[in-house]
Structure 1
Amino acid sequence: MLETAAIEVNVDATSIEVHPTDVRRLPQAGEAYDIVEIETDRGTTTCRYYEAAGAGTGVVMVGGTGGGFDTPARDLYPRLAQDLPNHRISALRVQYRHPKDLVESVIDTVLGTRYLESQGVSAVGLVGHSLGGAVVIQAAANVPAARVVVAISTQTTGTEPVVGLAGRAALLFLHGDNDPVLPHRSSEDVYRRAGEPKRLVIYEGAGHTLDETAESLYVEVKAWLLKHLPGAVV
């Protein structure tokens, strides 16, 4: 169970205390996931939890400003979430409370990682799309267990902590060169500031959600997670 002690989250040099008050896990008949509701003094963060029993490794996935359980690349997140438990990796999809607010979205994501840790996970991967690219970079800076960060079509705003992840987390950046929302220069900029290990892939002709290259992107993301997360069964 997630501890109810205060959690300190640092975003853009601002320290915020979050106080969890309750955690509910609700099985969903006919689904591959359980709903997890993390109640705090800032509201309730809702997640979908795909458990790999006994796994010490987990992945948190977050979307952009669209809200809900949004996903890029033709259902990348639900596909990964159902596949990763086969490799002894639990998966958690986080729904933002305020999807246009970077700070609150980072808080939601950190809460998700803390929930995985409460379930025995000691190594975490974080995957985010668009705004979520900055969110997972910020979250990884707050989570010592973070070992992998995947930023898809990321923005540059809020990515300053990427420098501090060098040598601690393996960083993968993915972007389309026909993105009308955020230019691929955004990922290139963050990649330049990041330390090793890191990788950058620019997909020719792909837009912001990378639907055009969904299969290649799925293979790339999964391979990076399996390569760099300890305890994964390939």
Structure 2
Amino acid sequence: MAEEINLRITGVEPGDEIAGARKLAISTTRGPIPVVMHSAAERGRAALCVSGALGGFDGPAMLYPRLGLEMPKLGVTIARLNYRHPNEFSECLVDTMAGITFLAGIGHQRVALIGHSFGGAVAINAGTLASAVTTVIALSSQLAGAHVVGDLSPKALLLIHGGADTILSHESSQALYDRAGEPRKIVVLPGVGHGLAEAADRVFDLVSKWLLER
């Protein structure tokens, strides 16, 4: 269980800056957690993005880099986190909690969580645990690990799923929606698969608008 894992942040190691993004590593007692930061000029609002079971920085349909390019202009910092141990739910959950703690520690009082597939469940779970989190966006989310979704309210939940997802049926997000409290919203995109590539622009519009409103 995630609560049995002890992880403590010991520092932050800055890395290279590429095209306005800063690579860094959150140093912890369980090893470094790599993050790519796209910082807004002002601090206060941030979104932490986590990927699926395979890890990585980009999310579905390159959504996370696109958010990183656009959202800082609108006052929202984007942090893209890669897991230390992809597909190990408890370890990925504490990595996400460490990312939230880091963002809160540098002045972001309001943090949104965005997760895809496996990461959708990680984001929902972490959202119930962290007081800094104001909203969760779960993309093509799995059910396993997201059983606590009812505890997320009154934090807002946005669920986006492809209607033609053959890896995780959109019924997974529907079940999460049915269990969640308000405020909540679900968008099922007809003809769209698990990676959401067929509706990349639509997903970006939905997510960016939600971040600005929430």
TM-score by length of structure 1 reads 0.88
CA distance in 2, matches of 1:126, 1:81: 14
What RMSD over aligned residues (CA atoms) do the two structures have, in Å?
1.3
The superposition leaves residues 129-174 of structure 1 with CA deviations (integer Å, 9 ceiling, x where unpaired) of: 000000001111221011110000000001122111111x110001
- Which of these residues, 15, 23, 29, is aligned with residue 35 of structure 1? 23
CA distance in 2, matches of 1:52, 1:161: 32
- Indicate if the aligned counterparts of 1:54 and 1:120 stay in contact, CA closer than 8 A: no
Which amino acid in structure 1 is aligned with residue 13 of structure 2?
A: R
Matching of residues 1-234 of structure 1 within 5 Å: 11=2, 14-28=3-17, 30-72=18-60, 74-167=61-154, 169-228=155-214
Shift, 1:68, TM fit: 2.2
Give 5+ residue unaligned stretches, structure 2: none
Shift, 1:227, TM fit: 0.7
Shift, 1:54, TM fit: 2.5
Identity of aligned residues (%): 37
Give 5+ residue unaligned stretches, structure 1: 1-9, 229-234
Q: How many residues align?
A: 214
- Indicate if the aligned counterparts of 2:58 and 2:65 stay in contact, CA closer than 8 A: no
CA distance in 2, matches of 1:52, 1:110: 21
Whichever structure has more helix as a proportion of its residues is: 2
TM-score by length of structure 2 reads 0.96
- Structure 2 residue aligned with 1:7: none
Shift, 1:204, TM fit: 0.4
CA distance in 2, matches of 1:71, 1:27: 21
Runs of 4+ in 1 over 4 A off after TM superposition: none
